Structure 1
Amino acid sequence: MASFFCYLMSIRLLFLLSLLHAIATNCSASSQPLCHDDESYALLQFKESFPRNVNDCNDPFAYPKIESWKMEGVDKDCCLWDGVECDKNTGHVIGLDLSSSCLYGSLSSNNSLFSLVYLQRLNLASNYFSFSRIPSELSQLSRLTYLNLSNSSFSGQIPSQFSELSKLTSLDLSYNSMLHLVSLKGLVQNLTSLTDLRLSYVQTSSPMPEIFSNLSGLTTLHLIGCRLHGDFPVGVFKLPKLENLRVSENQDLMGYLPEFYSSSPLRILWLQRTNFSGELPTSIGNLESLNILSIGSCNFFGRIPPSLGFGQHLVNFPWPQLHILDLSFNKIQALPPIPLPSIFVYSVANNLLEGEISPWICNLSSLYSLDLSNNKFRGILPHCLCNVSNTLSILNLRGNGFHGTIPQLCAKGSRVKMIDLSQNQFEGVLPRSLSNCEMLEILNLGSNRLNDVFPSWLGTLPKLRVLILRHNGFYDVVGSPTTMFAFPKLHILDLSDNKLTGKLPFEYFRNRKSMEKVDANSFTYMQASTIVLLAGYNVPEYYPYSMTIINKGKETIYPKILEVFVAIDLSSNTFNGKIPEFIGDLNGFQLLNLSNNNLIGHIPISLGNLTTLESLDLSQNKLLGQIPWQLTQLTFLESFNVSHNQLTGPIPHGKQFDTFDNSSFDENSGLCGSPLSKKCEDLEPSPLPTESIEEEQDSWFHIEFDWKIIMMGYGSGLVIGVVVGNIVTEKFGRTRKRQHKRGRHQLY
């Protein structure tokens, strides 16, 4: 009996041993094989082909993945290296993700990367390849299904051999502005499996080929700023899987919107700044999946289709998932419906819309930007607007017919950064709730009927940079600041054409730092920016600030405002007294207008320190004495006017002063010399600068910066030479189509 029991136990033990062996064998067979030696060496050679200088990496979110690659220790298996993906069965390298990896240098044609013939996915985005050419040898990686070289500083022509990568489903070469594509058709004609194509800012200069209508699997197409021209194939809109279409910033690209199927999966339609035209089709309301509709700066016209609601109730809105609506800069005529509370950007600026604003707008609990500017809206603003100030950053109602008092816009904790209510008919006093707008950067209330004293209490706003109150009924003495920290960031102030009196309010800026220096490397534009989560993706949202001011005697539109632009316009008031001598300490000015006041005394010599000044207007005052010769040192001065004063003596000569005509000096009976016909008698040479003045000027030029190095020539002006696209207008004479619109970067 005992022997039989032992026999059974031995059988069971053998069974268990065989079972353990089978398990071990299966586990060994299912474990991932090691990386192949030849591929490991190829990756290491790739690593050695780039200099390892982490200081060259300017992206704070990037890190050098290849630094961890090595053939020693526990990390010798390349399948475990950062950014490397291997096939679980064969061990071959099939994926390489080196995006934002601080790669710096050129990608040569004999790079070992091209020996990784099993590679299916390659991502080299957001590196710096020194504007080298893309090697045609990339076509040797014939198994590639995903290729991303975006934002990596490549240049030259895209190799024609790319069309041989017939298995590609995703190709992204966008944001390489030095890349050129000879033929868009030639690139895609063999890439019939494409689902995602992104070529934004690649210079194609070609028509949009009809072949795109045959890419039935296409879900994403980004061709922003590619210089496309001709007619856009209408069949692209009807592709059965297309979700994301962006062809904006192609001004010579023509087309129209077709009738849309109710089954269309389109989520993003981005056509702004193209030559698309026609009426909006009624069936556009069928796009129930739409997240973003951006068709601003096109040539659409007519009334809003019935499918979009002519009513003001939320239940009429056709796009339940819409987050961004941009219909700006068209010729649309009827008021669109108020969208759902989930809307993030709502812009219908520069159209022919009219009507009143419904209180329903106060229910938009997620609203970031509301732009109704330059239409024909009228009526009184809903007083409930303060309800959205906790989310609202941009409120632009400029150029309409709104009237009544301005509602209390800002509650405690307000996030508003820009308020533009200019060119309306608002009246009464400023709402004191504006003092709650602690995030406010630009406040433009110009060209209304406001009647109030100067709002010195706005000086408590820590981030206010632009304050425009011109052409209103502000009155009384501006007075001196009650604290040295009033208006700490202000560098554009326009109080012109009001009823203000007393001394010039330069005391507000006497201790200011923002007006003292101009950073020659800061030619960036003022804008509001944020990141919004849309459909699970982080989407950057930008809104450039704009303004209209009088510059060089003409009304000038600034579609964008340079960070370095500094301007003060106090003209057409009744300010009196002298121009303070310390004004020369505020040496960051580009524009200074003190005309049409009651100013007396001499022109301060210290104005010669304002070396960045482009426009100086002191006309229509009671100024005495001579024009300081030091003003000839203002080598960027394009516009100068001291007419209608009581000035005497010779007009200075040299540099910019030799370009000014009679009108700059008219109605000063004591002035003489060119360009006036009155000759100067017993003319003595102008005195040479004293040694102290020479030393002071020489010190300033060397300590601050040498503007002659930064800008060549006297005639163009510093800021005007940089701000491309500023439009000079006679009030509302032209359609302002180059203004605006948000430079959103690539969406998901």
Structure 2
Amino acid sequence: MSSPIAIGHHEPPPLLVLYLLIHLLLGFQQLCYSLGTHSNNRITAAMPVPCLPDQSAALLRLKRSFTITNDSQCTLASWRAGTDCCRWEGVRCGGANGDGRVRSLDLARCFLESAAIDPALFDLTSLRYLNLARFERLKHLTHLNLSDASIQGKIPVGIRHLTNLVSLDLSTTFYLIDQDDYYLSFGTWSDPSWWVVEPNIGSLVANLSSLRELYLGRVDLSDNGEDWCTALTNSSTPQLQVLSLRHCRLFGPICTSLSSIHSLTEINLQYNDLYGPVPDSFADLHFLRVLDLADNDLEGLFPKRILQNRNLTTVHISYNTNIYGSLPNFSPDSSLTTLIVSSTNFSGPIPSSIGNLKSLNELGVASNDFRQELPSSIGQLTSLKLLEATGAGIVGTIPSWIANLTSLVLLRFSNCGLSGPIPSSIGNLKNLTRLELYRCNFYGTISPHIFNLTHLKVMYLHSNNLTGTVELSSFWKLPHLFSLNLSGNRLTVVDGDVNSSHVNNMDILRLASCNMSKFPDALRHMSFIHYLDLSDNKIPGAIPQWAWETWSQLVLLNISHNKFSSVGCNALPVDIESVDLSFNQFEGPISSSPIN
């Protein structure tokens, strides 16, 4: 029998079948890989970054400082170690897909209680939104410190219900650069938008009967008017020990009833607009250790009884130009460590018994009508870190005993009758960070020994009769110097070689009336300069274009009374707060707009 014949069908060769199967499998594998890769990329792109370890650790510490109450609508049960804190109740992290840092913390529904909020809260440095509403329920809280927290607006009313508070600190730190120049002292820090506001200080503390420390530095209290003091003393704060209201826009007199708070150990009312006399009754505050009334408009006779209080460690009343009085004799058992009456209208002799104050760290004296040299007994106060003398009655030369005060950090002789050359012995005061010898009658050349003071940060030698040619490059060798004022002498200031990286440290440079005839090339390297004064010189031509590119942080510029013909740019930067271009040789309009 013959084999059957298949018509229209042919078996493919085995090798061809195997080849096709392999290609089919490879193609399917490639398809799966492509789909998987695309899917993984999509998943990776959508996968949020988990909470960073330091963020979860801070939150867990914060949780431990709280007590959950029966009224709570949240239990914080999701707040567990080893889990993603960005998914915890009340927590949100930042970024489109999260960056692992806590941006929002909302615990308003939790009705939490706490004796002390853990400072771990301030480890959440990326926090943008914080809601601890109803925190007045933290009824056991004894210490609340929100200093330098950059908060704005009114002080929350809930603080008034924290009746167990012992210490309340809502202050903000501020820095003084130059006390004789208000613009430089506070600058943009006086911007009202930075302020926390409390319109009723009496109501704030009315229920805080346990309060012992109140720090409200740079809280705006101006709405309290002249009644701020009586409102405070009429409140129930019988245990108050520390009252610190620095730079609070206070005005009006200091009420005598403030002395009725017998527990006071510190009164700090610096940098306000207070006027009237200093209450004599302050001398009856037997626990008072610190009295700081500097930088106000106080007037009248300063009670000598206060200075004779043997418990006082600090008396600071400088920059009250209408306060007058004289220093008493000091006994060896005085506790004074700080005595500053400079920049006042004090007169009379500075007693030699001031040498009995062996614990003195800071001394500022003044003499106006009574002419005298500084007593040599000051040279025995070898612990002094600050020495200041003001007033036309301070005469003579810089005494030789100044070389004994090797612990000095600040030396300031200003607005006084001292004269003569600046002695080379000042170069031995190796710890000086501020050397301020201005508005006196010093003459001669600048001693090269000054450039041995390698810790100097501030040097003011302006408004004297100093002579000679001085190279700016000498000052750039001082590695920490950031503020220099040589204005108003008979100096000739030249550039010198700029070969030091320290030039870039300069923040304030004042070279008015320095016989300069060339734009200092060193300014090319001062990218952090804020205040620049080149007025009353002989500098010609155009301001170099690089100046505006370099001075991105410039706030104050004075180049008046020169020979400039062009500002060197099409428009002045709008960020400059104060600019004086007067009495030059400019032609055409000068506009102010952003420079790209």
Q: Counterpart in 2 of 1:320?
A: 358
Q: Counterpart in 2 of 1:234?
A: 280
Q: Counterpart in 2 of 1:565?
A: 557
CA offsets, 1:393-432, max 9 Å, x none?
3333233333444322344572334444444444455489
Distance 1:218 1:70 in 2: 37
CA offsets, 1:268-315, max 9 Å, x none?
22223336623223145667332333334433223323422xxxxxxx
Q: Does 1:377 align with 2:424?
A: no
- Aligned 1:113-124 pairs, distance under 5 A: 113-124=135-146
* Equivalent of residue 116 in structure 2, options 71, 89, 95: 95
- Aligned 1:166-181 pairs, distance under 5 A: 166-177=209-220, 180-181=223-224
Give the aligned residue type for 1:194: L
Q: Does 1:513 align with 2:535?
A: no
State whether residues 108 and 134 of structure 2, in contact with CA within 8 Å, keep that contact through their aligned partners in structure 1: no
Give the aligned residue type for 1:409: H
Indicate the larger mover: 484-493 or 142-151. Answer: 484-493
Q: Report the identity percentage.
A: 20
Distance 2:75 2:370 in 1: 60
Q: Counterpart in 2 of 1:634?
A: 590
Q: Does 1:402 align with 2:394?
A: no
Give the aligned residue type for 1:113: F
Q: Counterpart in 2 of 1:334?
A: 372
CA offsets, 1:215-262, max 9 Å, x none?
332111222345434333212134222112222333156551323576
Q: Could you tell me how far 1:366 is from its partner in structure 2?
A: 2.9
Q: Does 1:158 align with 2:201?
A: yes
Distance change (3 Å), C-alpha of 1:214 and 1:413? closer
State whether residues 176 and 202 of structure 1, in contact with CA within 8 Å, keep that contact through their aligned partners in structure 2: yes
Q: Counterpart in 2 of 1:457?
A: 496
Distance 1:188 1:124 in 2: 24
- Aligned 1:414-429 pairs, distance under 5 A: 414-428=454-468
Q: Counterpart in 2 of 1:391?
A: 431
Q: Counterpart in 2 of 1:678?
A: none
CA offsets, 1:101-150, max 9 Å, x none?
47877989xx4322333333333433355413531x54443333333333
Distance change (3 Å), C-alpha of 1:43 and 1:367? farther
Distance 2:286 2:151 in 1: 37
Distance change (3 Å), C-alpha of 1:161 and 1:414? closer
Distance change (3 Å), C-alpha of 1:569 and 1:239? same
Give the aligned residue type for 2:217: S
State whether residues 278 and 303 of structure 2, in contact with CA within 8 Å, keep that contact through their aligned partners in structure 1: no
Q: Does 1:265 align with 2:311?
A: yes
Q: Could you tell me how far 1:442 is from its partner in structure 2?
A: 5.3
Q: Could you tell me how far 1:437 is from its partner in structure 2?
A: 3.3
Q: Counterpart in 2 of 1:141?
A: 162
Distance change (3 Å), C-alpha of 1:185 and 1:569? closer
Q: Could you tell me how far 1:51 is from its partner in structure 2?
A: 8.9
Distance change (3 Å), C-alpha of 1:183 and 1:434? closer
Give the aligned residue type for 2:117: L
Distance change (3 Å), C-alpha of 1:42 and 1:235? farther
Distance 1:43 1:254 in 2: 60
State whether residues 424 and 448 of structure 1, in contact with CA within 8 Å, keep that contact through their aligned partners in structure 2: yes
Distance 1:300 1:280 in 2: 6
Give the aligned residue type for 1:374: N
CA offsets, 1:526-558, max 9 Å, x none?
xxxxxxxxxxxxxxxxxxxxxxxxxxxxxxxxx
Distance 2:144 2:484 in 1: 48
Distance 1:243 1:34 in 2: 34
Q: Does 1:188 align with 2:233?
A: yes
Distance 1:702 1:449 in 2: 38
Q: Does 1:278 align with 2:324?
A: yes
Distance 1:161 1:436 in 2: 52
Q: Counterpart in 2 of 1:222?
A: 268
Distance 1:469 1:161 in 2: 49
Q: Counterpart in 1 of 2:334?
A: 288
Give the aligned residue type for 1:320: K
Q: Could you tell me how far 1:355 is from its partner in structure 2?
A: 0.6
What SS does the aligned partner of 1:348 have? strand
Distance 1:226 1:171 in 2: 17
What SS does the aligned partner of 2:243 have? strand
- Aligned 1:288-367 pairs, distance under 5 A: 288-308=334-354, 317-327=355-365, 333-337=371-375, 338-339=378-379, 340-367=381-408
What SS does the aligned partner of 1:288 have? coil
Q: Counterpart in 2 of 1:558?
A: none
Query: TM-score scaled by structure 2?
Result: 0.64
Indicate the larger mover: 181-190 or 458-467. Answer: 458-467
Distance 2:573 2:65 in 1: 67
State whether residues 233 and 261 of structure 2, in contact with CA within 8 Å, keep that contact through their aligned partners in structure 1: no
CA offsets, 1:556-613, max 9 Å, x none?
xxxxxxx431527556xxxxxxx888x63497699xxxxxxxxxxxxxxxxxxxx976
Q: Counterpart in 1 of 2:568?
A: 584
Distance change (3 Å), C-alpha of 1:402 and 1:35? closer
* Equivalent of residue 112 in structure 1, options 131, 134, 144: 134
Q: Which runs of 5+ in 2 are unaligned?
A: 1-63, 80-87, 96-100, 173-194
Distance change (3 Å), C-alpha of 1:331 and 1:443? farther
What SS does the aligned partner of 1:304 have? coil
State whether residues 347 and 371 of structure 1, in contact with CA within 8 Å, keep that contact through their aligned partners in structure 2: yes
Q: Could you tell me how far 1:635 is from its partner in structure 2?
A: 5.4
Distance 2:130 2:550 in 1: 39
Distance 1:401 1:273 in 2: 21
Distance change (3 Å), C-alpha of 1:395 and 1:245? same
Distance change (3 Å), C-alpha of 1:66 and 1:286? farther
State whether residues 141 and 165 of structure 2, in contact with CA within 8 Å, keep that contact through their aligned partners in structure 1: yes
Distance 1:142 1:479 in 2: 66
Give the aligned residue type for 2:267: L
Q: Counterpart in 1 of 2:6?
A: none
Distance 1:54 1:252 in 2: 51
Distance change (3 Å), C-alpha of 1:273 and 1:406? closer
Query: TM-score scaled by structure 1?
Result: 0.52
CA offsets, 1:319-368, max 9 Å, x none?
32333333469666433344534323322244431011122212332323
Distance 2:514 2:214 in 1: 54
Distance change (3 Å), C-alpha of 1:124 and 1:98? farther
What SS does the aligned partner of 1:362 have? helix
Q: Counterpart in 1 of 2:525?
A: 488
Q: Counterpart in 1 of 2:39?
A: none
Q: Could you tell me how far 1:435 is from its partner in structure 2?
A: 6.4
Distance 2:303 2:216 in 1: 27
CA offsets, 1:148-201, max 9 Å, x none?
333482443235263232222222333212564354223333321111122334
State whether residues 118 and 141 of structure 1, in contact with CA within 8 Å, keep that contact through their aligned partners in structure 2: yes
Give the aligned residue type for 1:457: G
- Aligned 1:708-727 pairs, distance under 5 A: none
Distance 1:616 1:359 in 2: 44
State whether residues 252 and 274 of structure 1, in contact with CA within 8 Å, keep that contact through their aligned partners in structure 2: yes
Distance 1:356 1:154 in 2: 48
The CA RMSD measured in Å over matched residues stands at 4.8
What SS does the aligned partner of 1:370 have? strand
Distance change (3 Å), C-alpha of 1:615 and 1:270? same
* Equivalent of residue 437 in structure 1, options 467, 470, 478: 478
What SS does the aligned partner of 1:513 have? helix
